[in-house]
Each structure stands twice: as C-alpha cells, then as structure tokens.
Structure 1
Amino acid sequence: MNDDSTRWDERYRGEEFLLGTEPSRFLFERIEEVKRLCPGRRALDIACGEGRNSIFLARHGFSVTGLDISPVGLAKARDWARREGLDCDFRPVNLETYRIAETFDLIINFNFLLRDLIPQEVAALTPGGIILFDTILESPTAPVPHRKDFLLQPGELARLFAPYPGTILFCGEYPDSATPTAKLIYHHSK
C-alpha cells in the first residue's frame, strides 16, 4: 500500500462520511444541464472517495465507474450503492499510473488535480461528451496542507482545456471562497 492510499484510508476510516453524503454543489446545480447535454449515461468519477458524487449520478440514471486510491473509501461507496440498488462500479486505482481504457459520456473530476490525466479524460469522452472539473485554486485562503503542484494557478484550467476539439461552456474561478476553486464544463466536439 502506498502513502497516499494509507493517508486517505485513515481519513475515510470513520463511520461518518468525510465530505458528507450530499453531492458537490457544482454537480447538484448543473445536473439538469449535464443530463440534457450528455449523449448517453455512462459516467466516470475521478478520485471518487466515498462515492457521494457517484451515488448522485447513479440516482439520476447514470451507470457510474468510480476510481480512487483508497480501499476504505471505496468500500463505503460500494456498501452505499448496494443499499440503494444503484449501478456503480468502484475500482481501486492509483491515478498517477492508471490509463483510462473505456469511453464515457460524462467525466467528473472534483477536488483532485493530476494535469497529466486531462488528455486521457478528453480522449475517453464519447462524441458530444461532457467533463465537469472543479478543484482547488491556489490562493492565500487555500486550505493547507496542499502541495503547490496539486493546486490550479489562476487562469490555468481554461488554458488546460483550450487546445482540445470542443467548447468550454463554463469556466469560473472563485479565489475568495472559503475553499478557493476553479470550475469548468467542457463539451467534446461531435
């Protein structure tokens, strides 16, 4: 087991859910738009943790694959999905070495930044597919401890997606929030 897996296992070990059971606010606010735009209902949740966003997507008719490094977080997510009878496949992976081999209509990447994974995410989209991205932005109010390479720089998220054949439907930065974030919706060309 590597250090990241051990660290996240410890965070998820309690009976409570670390980030709660409600989905990301960004996902919650955009779900109807996402459902309208997505060409199908296969979704990938990058760094899914305990599954709060995967469960939310499954409740909205998506067949969800959730990837995470923490077996403890994934076990909680599997139990939750099983209790609700939802279509979720939770897989333990190290995203630093993982290669996305399937295609998806929707990919969500929340609270996680691995820049080298972005080209794989775009390549894994079906024509007309969507990426929702929401992660921490470097700012004086950014929560600590975070390594600088795991924080987006101002303006970086739009620059990362600009070269791809698609449209950035939304991009916003919130540097003064309690947790400063950058959010993006990318629509892959058909």
Structure 2
Amino acid sequence: MQAFWNEKFQTPQMIYGETPNAFIKEHVDLLVHAKRCICLGEGEGRNAVYLADLGLNVEALDASDVALAKLRKRAKEHYVAIKTRHTLLEYWQPEPIYDAVVCTYLDLAKNEQMMLFEKAVAALAPEGIFIAELFSESQIHFNSGGPKNALLLYDINAIIAWIKRLPCKVLKLSQEIVMLNEGTQHVGRASVIRIILKKNLTA
C-alpha cells in the first residue's frame, strides 16, 4: 500500500489540488476553535495546511513518506508548522487529546474501515468533532476518481452500525451526489458519504 501511494504522489503537482476539501471548508466553523487537530490519511496536506493557516495546531498522518514530504514543503511555504506522522492507521495508537479529527477519502479495506471510526472517536477529547468525507460503494459507477475496487469503498449502513457502538452523537450522516473539483484525481459527479460526529461529554 505504501509503495502504491508513493508512486501515485511521485510528481511535483499536488494531485488532489491545493484547496481544502469543500465539505471540510463548508463546516470549518466546527473546527476553528479546536486547539489540536489531526488529519488522517492526509496525503499532500491540502486540509492540514488550510487548518494550520487558520491558527489550529495541526498534525497529519499518512502512510506515504513522499506525500508527507510534499506536505512539509507546502507548510514551509505557508509559514505554518505541521507535525507529521508517517505510519499506517492500524499502527497508530490514538490518545483522547484532539479537539478535531479530519479525514477525506481514506481508502481502506472492508475489514479495516470500522477501525477508522473507532480510532477517530478514541482520539477525540470530550465534545471533540470528527468530520469525514468518504467514497460510497455507489462510486463504483462514477468516473470521478476513487478506488475501482468495491472492497475499498464504504457502505453507509455499515457506518451507521459502527457509530451506534461509539460514544458520540451524530450531527450529520448522509450519502450524497456531489461535484468534485480536486486537482486531477477527483473531478466530476461523485457518490460520497459525509459524516460529522461529536464525542460525548462523558465517554
């Protein structure tokens, strides 16, 4: 997996663009007061740099050292400091210290997808926010980017079942058709799942 992503990111261009994900930007009011934020599967850093520009203390986790090198270069250009974690999600041991966890288009195998939600919520301090946009299983019928392997796409019914077990409140959970315009890799109509969770005050 690391080799796949390193090869994909091995280009001077920001393959997913330089602007933040539209869903993240649309709900930035939920994030601006966060003291600590971590972006999971952050790649080249478009969301991380955007949030750091707003004054957040941001960390970025990704499996690709090539992507993280591009992230650090961009952070330097923006005069912001972003801590990077070069690791697979499965090896990350979260602590409940973040006010926000952000994740866009983290492609995981079916047997690892529940782990994303468990670890994201585990990483949140009480009343922290988890916000994510992921490709739904219906994305297999679109040509706007994302995996062509259905086993790497997300089922909203499975997500509903996972969230019921977690100490959090659902602020938003929907499957939508949206228009993507993210670099060269995410362009056109797409089927996405949009999620906003708030960790319980007493988890």
TM-score, normalized by length of structure 2? Answer: 0.83
User: Which letter does structure 2 place at the counterpart of 1:184?
Assistant: I
- Shift in Å, 1:57: 0.8
- Larger RCO (CA within 8 A; separation ≥ 6): 2
Which has the larger displacement, 10-19 or 146-155?
146-155
User: Which letter does structure 2 place at the counterpart of 1:23?
Assistant: P
- Shift in Å, 1:97: 2.6
Aligned to 1:84: 78
CA contact under 8 A between 1:130 and 1:188: conserved in structure 2? yes
Structure 1 gaps, min length 5 = none
Aligned to 1:31: 28
Structure 2 gaps, min length 5 = 180-188
Identity of aligned residues (%): 24
- Shift in Å, 1:124: 1.3
Aligned to 2:154: 152
- Shift in Å, 1:162: 2.3
Alignment of 1:1-190 (within 5 A): 4-35=1-32, 40-101=34-95, 103-112=97-106, 113=108, 114-139=113-138, 140-142=140-142, 143=145, 145-174=147-176, 178-190=189-201
- Shift in Å, 1:144: 6.0
CA contact under 8 A between 1:137 and 1:175: conserved in structure 2? no
- Shift in Å, 1:150: 1.9
Which has the larger displacement, 41-50 or 82-91?
82-91
- CA distance in structure 1 between the partners assigned to 2:85 and 2:146 by the alignment: 28
CA RMSD of superposed structures (Å): 1.9
From the two aligned structures, give the one with the greater strand fraction.
Answer: 2
User: Which letter does structure 2 place at the counterpart of 1:95?
Assistant: L
- CA distance in structure 2 between the partners assigned to 1:116 and 1:149 by the alignment: 15
Deviation sequence 1:74-115 (CA, Å, 0-9, x none): 000001111212131112101233222462100012101432
Judged with a 3 Å threshold, the aligned counterparts in structure 2 of structure 1 residues 124 and 14 are, in CA distance, closer, same or farther, namely same
